[in-house]
Structure 1
């Protein structure tokens, strides 16, 4: 009889402790579950290769090569590679500005990562200044 009582008591203690623990889990406060109305910023900017040019800028906007037919020869101007950490110093279009300078334009390198509040890449009609906020590292612009 005593063994049954001990087993019953242990079972009750274990079940009550499990019920208590399951009710006291720490939870992060959530204000809203609708992504359209949720407070906070956009998705983080990723830079897999660490060259300070975001992967979206390298892969999607300026990742493809440009092929020019001059009549006498065919030229290939390389695009940027989101997995190459040294292409930020490249100047494939030979205009004297590195890919990192062209990414930061119209900001200088010392203000590019401190004063800018958004990614570059806006056409003139969408920017506040009316000036396009991007240079193509594949075209001498």
Structure 2
């Protein structure tokens, strides 16, 4: 699931990569899971890899800075035509996300795949 027509499904800005490296000083092995809403909205949540259980229906979108990024299967079905771009903005992170308390938070931006890219997207199992 990492690429669609040569385009990665998930990217990170330089600011996001810098915050990932900062977090890895305290938590070397981390992962992202794209939140589907509720308490923390639709934020990319950053967790210690050994404290988050990836579900059997979760989809790995790819990696940013060597860190895996997952999304639930049902949410992927809705966002399958979208490239996610993980960015950083001022503010407080999600309550359980490792960016919380750093006065910067991860934010997901998106771009629709177009033309031939959309045709190359496989269906969700």
Is TM-score (shorter-chain normalized) higher than 0.5?
no
Structure 2 length-normalised TM: 0.26
Structure 1 length-normalised TM: 0.24
| Greater share of residues in strand | 2
The structure whose RCO (Cα within 8 Å, separation 6+) is larger is 2
Q: Which has the larger radius of gyration?
A: 1
